[in-house]
């Protein structure tokens, strides 16, 4: 059962690029804030907060437009989406069984390592 339908490709790709653009804008705003702390830009630039947020919005928009207009990026994302449509996701019961198995396995291995650690600790206490 696939969660993603092939007719929704443009919607998913645009959503992904929008999230990417928002992330680029956020990172640029945080970068400018860090530069502001280092170089005291608030005192040197009037309305620095508005300027930094404006730069973040512009960078986000430029990122969105650049990725959408780039043919290589568009075809690559379409190919990735086409492969994602082919994925068969496991059902709930198999996910629960595998998760329980992993929890049991990790518990066994961790208890063995705790036992070995405890043993070495006691041996070293006897020696020293």
Rounded-to-integer distance, Cα 70 and Cα 23, Å: 19
Rounded-to-integer distance, Cα 2 and Cα 9, Å: 13
Rounded-to-integer distance, Cα 39 and Cα 48, Å: 12
Tens-digit pLDDT profile for residues 66-106: 999 999 999 999 999 999 888 888 999 999 999 999 999 99
Note the pTM of the prediction, 2 decimals. 0.67
Tens-digit pLDDT profile for residues 38-74: 999 889 999 999 999 999 999 999 999 999 999 999 9
């Amino acid at each position: 059962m696939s969660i993603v339908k092939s007719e929704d490709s443009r919607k998913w790709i645009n959503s992904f690029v929008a999230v990417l653009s928002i992330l680029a804008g956020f990172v640029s705003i945080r970068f400018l804030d860090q530069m502001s702390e280092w170089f005291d830009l608030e005192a040197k630039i009037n309305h620095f907060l508005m300027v930094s947020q404006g730069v973040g919005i512009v960078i986000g928009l430029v990122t969105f437009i650049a990725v959408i207009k780039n043919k290589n990026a568009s075809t690559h994302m379409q190919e990735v989406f086409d492969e994602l449509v082919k994925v068969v996701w496991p059902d709930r019961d198999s996910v629960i069984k595998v998760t329980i198995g992993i929890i049991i396995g990790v518990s066994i291995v961790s208890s063995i390592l705790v036992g070995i650690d405890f043993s070495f600790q006691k041996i070293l206490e006897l020696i020293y």
